[in-house]
Chain A
Amino acid sequence: MSQPSDTSEELLSRALAGEAPAFGELVRAQQRSVYSLALRMLGNRQKAEDLAQEVFLQLHRNLAAIESAAHLGFWLRRVTANRAIDRLRREPRAQMLPLEAADGVADEAEGADPLLMRQLRVLVGELPPTPRAVVLLRYQEDLDPTDIARALSMSIHTVKSHLKRSLAALRKGIDAAAQDEVGSST
């Protein structure tokens, strides 16, 4: 998650004053986070782009309600996660689709196991919408459980419970994949 800075605050002030280029800069600064969250929630690049576009349009309409750069970051993640959950609830068939974009969309971290990275993204994509949002906000956006609870309008207890169960499911999935690999190599 990009940290608010003086530049972000200044950009926000200029965008609030109605300067279109400043709003463009805000979008550029935040689009990576919004798009990634949408992509990993919806599992489809086109749908993710559409959702990101809607979220930024909503931001433009509600810019007057944004109090600070930190609030802006939180607001964008909250709106993106909730809109994605709503969309998945309206389209139940899309809920369990594996991430179409799981391959080749992320620059893998140096020294990371590409196979494990891919497996984890696929397994996260298979979680139900709400736990998936909780995991993404925690590990992709680095929000703490208190902020996740505020963003998704749930108790901290529920957030922790989702995290615990999701991690157990992911661990189980990785173990099962590892055993398959051992089985196929012997």
Chain B
Amino acid sequence: MSNDLDESLRAALRPVDPGEDLTRKVLAAVEQDSSRPPRGPLPPPGHPGWRWPSAVLAIALLVGLATAYHWQLRRQERGLEARRQLIEALQVTSEKLDLAYRVVNEQEHTENGS
């Protein structure tokens, strides 16, 4: 029974012919597939196959540079603003310390004078 089934399967699963149409379609597709030659893993420099990857790489590089430039600009703006605020804060602090010292001084002079 096992051998019978094996033979029946072989008979049932005999390969079928797709016809000449498939060969024609395959050869047309191969001809259209000009981005890769039949040999070699990568196209040579200057080959049209490099156009798209090169364009994508160039755009990615430009976007990256623009983002880095923008980030650097933002950081500089924030840094300069922080520096301005720091100096202003130190000015205010000094003014108030000075005011306190002047008042103490005035009071001492007044007490000494009276």
Q: Which residues of A contact B (CB under 8 A)?
A: 15-16, 18, 20, 23-24, 27-28, 31-33, 35-36, 39-40, 48-49, 52-53, 56-57, 60-61, 63-64, 101, 105-109, 112, 116-118, 120-121, 124, 135-136, 139-140, 142, 167, 170-171, 174
How does the 8 Å CB contact mask read for B1-31 relative to A, with 1 for contact and 0 for none?
1100110111111111110101101110111
- Cα separation A108 to B26 with both chains bound (whole Å): 27
User: How many Cβ-Cβ contacts under 8 Å join chain A to chain B?
Assistant: 117
A49–B11 touching, CB < 8 Å? no
A121–B22 touching, CB < 8 Å? no
B39–A49 touching, CB < 8 Å? no
Q: Which residues of B contact A (CB under 8 A)?
A: 1-2, 5-6, 8-18, 20, 22-23, 25-27, 29-31, 33, 36-41
A63–B12 touching, CB < 8 Å? no
A and B contact pairs by CB, cutoff 8 A, 7 listed: A20-B30, A35-B16, A49-B22, A56-B30, A61-B36, A120-B8, A124-B13
Q: A139-B6, A167-B5 are in contact. Are A56 and B11 (CB under 8 A)?
A: no
Q: A24-B27, A63-B38 are in contact. Are A121 and B12 (CB under 8 A)?
A: yes
Chain B residues lying within 8 Å of A120, measured Cβ to Cβ, are 8-9, 12-13
- Cα separation A135 to B12 with both chains bound (whole Å): 12
